[in-house]
Structure 1
Amino acid sequence: MENNHLIDLTEQNAHQVLESSRNAPVLFYFWANMSPESLDMKPLVEKLAAQHASHLTVAMVDCEQQQMLAAQFGIRALPTMALFDNGKPVDGLMGPQSEDAVLEFLDKYLPNQAELAFKEALEKMDQGEYSEALTILKTLEADLGESGEYKLTLAECLIETKQFDLADATLATVLMQDQDARYKSLTAKIELYRQSADSPEVRKLQEAYDADPENDDLAFDLAVQLNQVDKHEEALELLMKLIRKDLNFADGQAKKTMMDILSSLGQGNEIASKFRRQLYALLY
């Protein structure tokens, strides 16, 4: 019965298994052939071990074969469950239990679905897959939206996907007690973006366009410059305005530029989604 999540406990591996609870909870199940109730529950315990394999180890203790261990754990009745976390006993159940009772018992100590999904998003970020992580994070707002860690993680993904205004708005909701070094680093990235975006070329084109807003050539040049300094929403607004006036403006360059920007932003980008819908409505 040996595998990564379901093991037979012996005196030889007991210390190692207890130490492993410092990384993930370990559920000890004490049973014996002489106890029909404990035998009846074994399939349930084995099923739970498989279902929670990624974040729970189940150690089966045959009390007839491992009498010394049973005595060390102070077992007085069968079946008995003992949950260890961080090297220490945290809870237990004694006697026959229904599946619902065991699940309720475990739910207090195992990560819920939202926490597991959040962990998946963090793994995506470690791999540089920020758009995919952002897609996951958006589904967790109802469960984790008030968490400072969630807000900082969301803001980081928004920055990495070049959605700086949304990132700034998210950081504005972070409470004072959560404004740690990570928060300061993220706000600094937004400030650096704003400084780099305020280039002389962009300022000059913006001033010229403001003075002559019907000049489509200026609008196109400004859109290109804005995109280069990651002001994607402003660039897309200008390009959408041009395409609405003339679908083939500049021999189709406005449409091509817009589609290139949308493609570079990816599927998980809210700004891209908004303008993608507008463009498709116009085209189809």
Structure 2
Amino acid sequence: MTDSPYVFEVNQHNFASVVVENSQRAPVLVDFWADWCQPCKTLTPLLTKLAQEYRGGIILAKVNAETEQALAAHFQVRSLPTVMVVWQGQIVEQLVGVQPEAAYRALIDQLLAKPGDLILEQVETLWQQGRQKQAVELLGEALKQEPDSVELKIALAEKLLQLDRGEKARVLLQSLPAEDQGRQPASGLLARLQFSDLAQGAPDLATLEVQVRATPDDYAARRQLAARYVLAGDYEAALEQFMDILRRNPQFEEGAGRKGLIAMFEMLGNEDPLVITYRRRMFSLLH
């Protein structure tokens, strides 16, 4: 017996309530065991530990196959231990014998994966294939299904920023709870919005690169190029552009080079290796 709220002794009378009903909200691992089964004495404590660790993410239902022979026969259990996984009223997996702990964890984690996780994987695949429009549309549809998902809102805002759609990204990010806005990754994306503002109406990245190479002292174009690099995720290139502005013309636009560097430091966080390197370089240049 156990006092855990996540572990139950199951028989034919309470099987429906413990297993079937609970499976509507969490995967149920039905552990068929017996006193004479030596491997069972290894497996049952392991499953109990996992049930405790996942704290309600899974339910463990223990069935003594010797005393509950009707249940064991109904589910055609022919060897012990057998673990039957029931999810939303359906048997989705059956494991015979003792498996490595990692196998049970992998199965549980797969069942507990949020629908949004799969969506994000699909979005990244589309993005890498150059299908940005489809990626954004997929995130938009996912948000209609999960309108309160912080993860999906952040993912969509990040993609919108990369597509120069800063205002839509701003609306999404500002709709997040205050505590989420104040921590990464949302706080970093909010900081990136100022670079989105800088890039608004600017030429594309390739055009700006040509322009800056042709006219190194065009600091306005160089600052726009830095903003473009930020939005493209090339943070080192962006930092280098702001360093060049600071080196060549520290007074440009009331210290735009220094301000750009500081804004990027805030966006990336103090522990980022790039921040450590460029903060030291900025200090050396200023002093």
* TM-score, normalisation: structure 1: 0.52
Cα offsets for 1:56-97 (capped at 9, x unmatched): 321112356656645654555554322223322234345xx4
Give the C-alpha shift of residue 197 in structure 1. Answer: 3.9
Between the aligned residues of both structures, percent identity stands at 19
Deviation at 1:37, TM superposition (A): 2.8
CA distance in 1, matches of 2:260, 2:106: 50
Structure 1 equivalent of residue 120 of structure 2: 149
**RMSD of Structure 2 on Structure 1 (CA):** 5.3
Cα distance between partner residues in 2 of 1:223 and 1:239: 7
2:60 to 46, 58, 61: 58
Alpha-carbon distance, 1:53 to partner:
4.9
Which residues of 2 match residues 156-175 of structure 1 at below 5 A?
Answer: 171=127, 173=129
Q: How far did residue 173 of structure 1 move?
A: 1.8
1:15 is aligned to 17
Q: Deviations over 1:34-54 (max 9, x none)?
A: x35366233233234345556
Change (3 A) 1:226 1:262: closer
Alignment partners' CA distance in 2, 1:278 and 1:268: 11
CA contact (8 A) 1:32 1:38 kept: no
1:240 maps to 2:211 = no
What are the superposed Cα offsets for residues 165-202 of structure 1, whole Å, 9 maximum, x if unpaired? Answer: xxxxx8252569x65722689677625348994449xx
Residue type of the alignment partner of 1:182 = L
Structure 2 stretches lacking a partner, 5+ long? 142-155, 167-195, 203-207
TM-score by length of 2: 0.51
- Of 242, 260, 267 in structure 1, the residue corresponding to residue 269 of structure 2 is 267
* 1:83/1:91 contact within 8 Å kept: yes
Are 2:250 and 1:277 aligned? no
Determine the C-alpha separation between the residues in 1 that align with 2:109 and 2:19.
Answer: 20
In 2: Cα distance, 1:83 partner to 1:65 partner: 21
Unaligned runs of 5+ in 1: 124-146, 156-169, 201-205
Equivalent residue letter for 1:60: K
Q: Residue in 2 aligned with 1:84?
A: 86
Asked whether the equivalents of residues 236 and 275 of structure 1 are also in contact (C-alpha less than 8 Å), the reply is no
Give the direction of change, closer, same or farther, for the CA distance of 1:98–1:12 in structure 2 (3 Å limit). Answer: closer
Tell me the secondary structure at the aligned position of residue 60 of structure 1.
Answer: strand
Displacement of 1:263: 3.6
SS in 2 for 1:109: helix
Sort the Cα spacing of 1:175 and 1:5 in 2 relative to 1 into closer, same or farther, 3 A: farther
Q: 1:184-235 CA deviation, whole Å, 9 max, x = no partner?
A: 89677625348994449xxxxx9xx97x9565xx72697399869x869787
**Partner of residue 110, structure 1:** 108
CA contact 1:5–1:57 (8 Å) conserved in 2: yes
Distance 1:239 1:103, change over 3 A: closer
Q: Is the 8 A contact 1:26 1:83 kept in 2?
A: yes
1:192 aligned partner: 165
CA distance in 2, matches of 1:242, 1:5: 61
The corresponding residue for 1:5 is: 6
Go from structure 1 to structure 2 and tell me whether the alpha carbon gap of 1:107 and 1:263 turns closer, same or farther (over 3 Å shift).
closer
- What one-letter code is carried by the residue in structure 2 that aligns with 1:173? Q
CA separation of 1:243 and 1:151: change in aligned 2, threshold 3 A = farther
- The amino acid across from 1:82 in the alignment is M
